[in-house]
Amino acid sequence: MNNSRILSLLSLAAFALLLAVPTQAQNDAAQKMDQYLNGLRPQKPSSDAPSSANQSQSGRPNGFKSDATTACSYPFTSGSGATYMNYCVTVNGTLANFESPSGVEMLDQLGAIEGYGVCVIQTGGVYYDDNFADSGNWLAPVTLTQTDTEVKIERRPADGSFLLTQTISKVSGAAPAARIVMTLKNTSGVIRGFYLIRSAEFVPDQAGTTGIYNETYDASTDSAWGYIPYFATYSSTSGPYGLVLNNVDEPIPASTSIVYYGYDYNSPLGPNPCQPLEFDIVGDKLTVGTLVNGVGSGAVLYALILNNNQSATVTLRYMPF
Task: Output the pLDDT for position 77.
Answer: 98
3-state secondary structure of 4: helix
Residue 66 binned pLDDT confidence (cut-offs 50, 70, 90):
low
Angle, alpha carbons 167-130-251 (nearest 5°) = 40
Question: What's the one-letter identity of residue 39?
Answer: G
240 preceded by a cis bond (ω within 30 of 0): no
Task: Output the pLDDT for position 31.
Answer: 38
Does pLDDT of 15 surpass 90?
A: no
Task: Output the pLDDT for position 124.
Answer: 95
| Mean per-residue pLDDT of the chain | 84
Provide the CATH number for the domain formed by 3-320 in this structure. Answer: 2.70.98
Closest C-alpha to 293, from 210, 227, 224, 211 = 227
The mean pLDDT value for 195-211 works out to 94
Residue 228 binned pLDDT confidence (cut-offs 50, 70, 90):
very high
3-state secondary structure of 83: helix
Residue 232 binned pLDDT confidence (cut-offs 50, 70, 90):
confident
CA distance linking residue 311 with residue 244, whole number of Å? 26
Kindly give, in sequence order, each residue whose CB lies less than 8 Å from that of residue 109, ignoring residues fewer than 6 positions away. 58, 203, 207, 208, 213
Domains of the chain: which residue ranges? 3-320
Question: What's the one-letter identity of residue 255?
Answer: S
Q: pTM score, two decimals?
A: 0.81
Residue 235 binned pLDDT confidence (cut-offs 50, 70, 90):
confident
Share of the chain above pLDDT 70, in %: 79
Alpha helices in 201-279 (DSSP H): 207-210
Q: Which of 38-42, 97-101, 194-198, 235-239 has the lowest mean pLDDT?
A: 38-42
Residue 237 binned pLDDT confidence (cut-offs 50, 70, 90):
confident
Does pLDDT of 58 surpass 80?
A: no
| Phi, psi (rounded to 5 degrees) for 295 | -105, 120
